[in-house]
Chains A and B, each alone.
Chain A
Amino acid sequence: MNDLLQAALVGLARRIACMEALLGRARSFERLRQKADDIAAFLQAAECRAQSALALLPAPQDLLDDLARQYNGIAREVYLVEQLVVGPLSRFSSEDEKLSSLSERICKEVGIADIPIVLAASSQYYSAIPEYGLIFTPPIDSQTLLNLPDLYHELAHHLDGRGRVLVGPRFESALESYVDRAEDEIARLSRPIDLRDFRHRIAFWQDWRLEVASDAFATLLVGPAYAWANLHLMLRVPSIFRYSESHPADAARMDFILRLLRSNTHFNSDVESIERKWRAYQDLSHPAKPDLYDLLHPSELFTAVLDDVRAAIESRDLRVAPLAPGTVAALLNEAWRKLLERSPDYAAWEAEAVASTFA
């Protein structure tokens, strides 16, 4: 076992050296230079830990389990960084440059100093890795405008994950009151609900709150285009009432986004139009609401998150002006309006808009 561990640790150190060489490619892009240095520092720390373990070999039987565990922990971190970060950064393309430049423009418009790099390398949908200041989009999103409102949602994850916390005391206090009240009601009315199950599931809000905060952030900053993009996304996932540990139900999120838009009279005509289509879509057949749906999606928790997000935006002096002419948000709203009003002409209009936006 000593030999095997020794070989594995030497192999890991060699892998780290190869990754550092790959990062050299990323350094040729000005905007990636600092990021490449940060990742190299992380890899060097991993290598130090690997060398410390290697220095203890050959080791007596009593330490072998622990040294194997040490190798496992370091290797997992290194391999994931290779897969998620070093790989995409070392293949940084013109599409990534376009999206990263758009991200920079959005951040400047909004007043965000910590600008994420955007990589058109997602194998899923949009996602963010705030630890490395990265946002991932599907590969073609530098060629189309319709999904880009989701960039603002990921921007919220980016900010929150890097210490600019979006959800705080208002939500925590609202949750506490809500749980007390709901449990009291369940007991008082002898509702056939397992309290333990309720407590287990209401704790999903630990993760839900940031998803809802990111929806609020994006809706405030982009306006109706975010609601359109969300409705569009829902067409691909018809279980609109399904919720998971990580995300509240799409239907509840859509209702929240619309409630938020309704509070701004500038959006009246858009909101009317989105609501009409949202109702029509709800009228189609959908899988039924799962257990505890209504109890887990009370509007007061969504509202409390929104209050926290508004306070965070205000305290950071971020600019909320989704319809300001010439902004990315205004362009995304125009894109959705054009698509819905003149679908046949949309492709040509979008091609031109993309060419000038990403020029």
Chain B
Amino acid sequence: MSTTKTYSDFRAITELLNRLNAALITAKRLALRITPVPDAAEIADATEVLRDFLEQQQKERAPQTAQHPGTSSSPFRVKTLPALTLDAQEIDRFLAQLRKGLATLAPQHLEFLERVVKELDQSSESLYRQMARL
């Protein structure tokens, strides 16, 4: 892979990883009542990050006719992000719960989120190893 593409992918994936992981930490602090308890700004920030990410994932999994013309039978998916192993129903369930508030997320939601960040983490590490020649 070219340096240009590898770095671009690395940067996009790692930034998303850092944001989602920070949101996961906030959600866990709430769910597990870990002190210091997150303040309102942290909760709002985490909620927004999760909602934006999952709505984007929802769009990508929407029926092809709803997407841009010219991509219906294309073998391409929206690039940069790795192909995350999430199904549409899981995303819908998580979003529905998130709309009730970050504090309402249950252990199964946190496990779902943890799986996403672990997948991103692996992609980020793999691209980092290529760039840093580790």
Contacts and interface: CB of A to CB of B under 8 A. Distances in A.
Contacts of A176: 70-74
A164 interface: no
A131 B24 contact: no
A206 B73 contact: no
Interface string A267-296: 000000000000000000000000000000
B28 A66 contact: yes
Nearest to B79: A206
A207 B7 contact: no
A154 to B, nearest CB: 8
B117 interface: yes
Q: Give the interface size class of chain B.
A: 35 or more
Nearest to B29: A63
Contact of B75 (A56, A169, A203, A246): A203
B5 A207 contact: yes
Q: Give the interface size class of chain A.
A: 35 or more
B43 to A, nearest CB: 14
Given A67-B25, A74-B18, A131 B8 contact: yes
Interface stretch (B55-63, B86-94, B97-105, B123-131): B123-131
- Determine which residue in A131, A180, A202 has the highest number of CB atoms from chain B within 10 A of its CB, and name it: A131
A129 interface: yes
Contacts of B114: 66
Interface in A32-63: 49, 52-53, 55-56, 59-60, 62-63
B67 to A, nearest CB: 11
B5 A73 contact: no
Interface in A154-183: 157, 161, 169, 172-173, 175-176, 179-180
B2 A49 contact: no
Contacts of A199: 75
Nearest to A46: B18
A61 to B, nearest CB: 10
Contacts of B128: 76, 80
B14 interface: yes
Given A63-B28, A72-B125, A73-B18, A161 B70 contact: no
Nearest to B12: A131
Interface string B18-32: 100110110011001
A76 B75 contact: no
5 contacts: A49-B18, A62-B34, A73-B121, A77-B11, A175-B74
Given A70-B21, A72-B125, 12 more contacts: A63-B29, A72-B121, A73-B121, A80-B7, A84-B131, A129-B3, A129-B7, A172-B68, A172-B74, A176-B72, A179-B74, A245-B1
Interface of A: 49, 52-53, 55-56, 59-60, 62-63, 66-67, 69-70, 72-74, 76-77, 79-80, 83-84, 124, 127-131, 136, 157, 161, 169, 172-173, 175-176, 179-180, 199-200, 202-203, 205-207, 210-211, 244-247
